[in-house]
Structure 1
Amino acid sequence: MQKLYQGFIRLEAILAGAFLLVMVAMIFTGGVARLSRMPLNWTIDIATCAFAWAAFLCADIAWRKDLFMSIDALVTRFSPSFQRLMMLINYLLIAAFLVYLIYSGFQLTWTSRARSFQGIPGVSYSWVTASLPVGATLMLITTIIKMRRDLGPNAASTKGARP
């Protein structure tokens, strides 16, 4: 199972990078085309879609690697048991918010299924809005893994851990 998850992590990083490259390439292509007096308006739309997917995939990668900002100046002054309690509360709040995003994101994806993406026939706007529930689901999985790692029976000492 661990090997499968590691492969998934690698695939997620490749997809996030690919979406960022597509976004940059589309913006550059659109700029060059506009400079050549032959504007390609669809390039901005594709860049927007790639940005939405890249943002959520990169957020999951950052969350997994503990690269989000945290302020623990006050919490580190308390006992390890209080620090663990604060960490649990934080993880539960994050998980609750992600569950809300998943639910709302799937609703948004479902309601936007009939809307065409920037007027392109046959391409649903749901391809863009699906990035929200998919990204939130990935982040919820990461949150659960972090909870088990940081708060489980085999968790290391909370000394230096970020709530």
Structure 2
Amino acid sequence: MFTKIYGYLCKIEQTIAGAFLCLIAIFVFISAIARSMHHPINWAEDLSMLLFAWAVFLSADVALRTRGFVGIDMIVSKFPARYRSFLFYLWSALVLVFLGILACYSIPLCINNYKRLFQALGISYSWATASVPVGALAMFITSILKIIDHHKENKSKERAR
């Protein structure tokens, strides 16, 4: 049940991230053309910044989940299996600590930005800064699930021996 809901949420997240990236490109393109014709669209820049903040953190979670981040497999693959596993757990622990710190510091930032407004949109800048704790939480969950999957994989390899 949980994996089905999680898979559904991951598809939604990936769709939203992709849509935001496309919308950013469209808004920036239209804004540049309008500006060159001396009719700037002021809201397009603010909306692009808002969408960019969300696209960055949602896409980072998608990349983490699909192993899209750059790794040093060339070096790590030269180590014996038990060292590779240790390095995986060490790296995962460091990632979890970083994401926890990111979430802890970004929540007060989000709260403090509620008075700051996007000039052309008239909405709180907290809508943009909220992408940081939401993205950090999503990546934290993804990292935990990857650790669980790695542990299950190691257990099944041990049983096969």
Q: Which runs of 4 or more aligned residues in structure 1 lie more than 6 Å from their structure 2 counterparts after TM superposition? A: none
- TM-score normalized with structure 2 length: 0.89
Q: Which runs of 5+ in 1 are unaligned?
A: 158-163
Task: Tell me, yes or no, if the aligned pair for 1:110 and 1:126 is still in contact at 8 Å.
Answer: yes
The match for 2:89 is 88
Shift of 1:10: 0.9
Task: Tell me, yes or no, if the aligned pair for 1:117 and 1:125 is still in contact at 8 Å.
Answer: yes
The match for 1:161 is none
Q: Which amino acid aligns with 1:133?
A: P
Shift of 1:154: 5.4
- Residues 155, 17 of structure 1: CA spacing in aligned structure 2 closer, same or farther, 3 A cutoff? farther
Measured against aligned partners, the alpha-carbon deviations of 1:69-91 in whole angstroms (never above 9, x if no partner) come to: 11133333332222211111000
Q: Which amino acid aligns with 2:71?
A: S
Q: Which amino acid aligns with 2:142?
A: T
Measured against aligned partners, the alpha-carbon deviations of 1:56-105 in whole angstroms (never above 9, x if no partner) come to: 11111011001111113333333222221111100000000000111111
The match for 2:109 is 108
The match for 1:160 is none
Number of equivalences: 157
The match for 1:131 is 131
- TM-score normalized with structure 1 length: 0.88
Task: Tell me, yes or no, if the aligned pair for 1:60 and 1:138 is still in contact at 8 Å.
Answer: yes
Superposed counterparts of 1:9-158, under 5 Å: 9-118=10-119, 120-121=121-122, 123-152=123-152, 155=155, 157=157
Shift of 1:155: 4.8
Secondary structure at the residue paired with 1:73? Answer: helix
Percent sequence identity is 35
Q: Which amino acid aligns with 1:135?
A: G
More strand by share: 1
Q: Which runs of 5+ in 2 are unaligned?
A: none
What is the rounded CA distance, in whole Å, between the counterparts of 1:113 and 1:47 in structure 2? Answer: 19
Secondary structure at the residue paired with 2:17? Answer: helix
The CA RMSD over aligned residues, in Å, is 1.9
Secondary structure at the residue paired with 1:81? Answer: helix
Task: Tell me, yes or no, if the aligned pair for 1:27 and 1:43 is still in contact at 8 Å.
Answer: yes
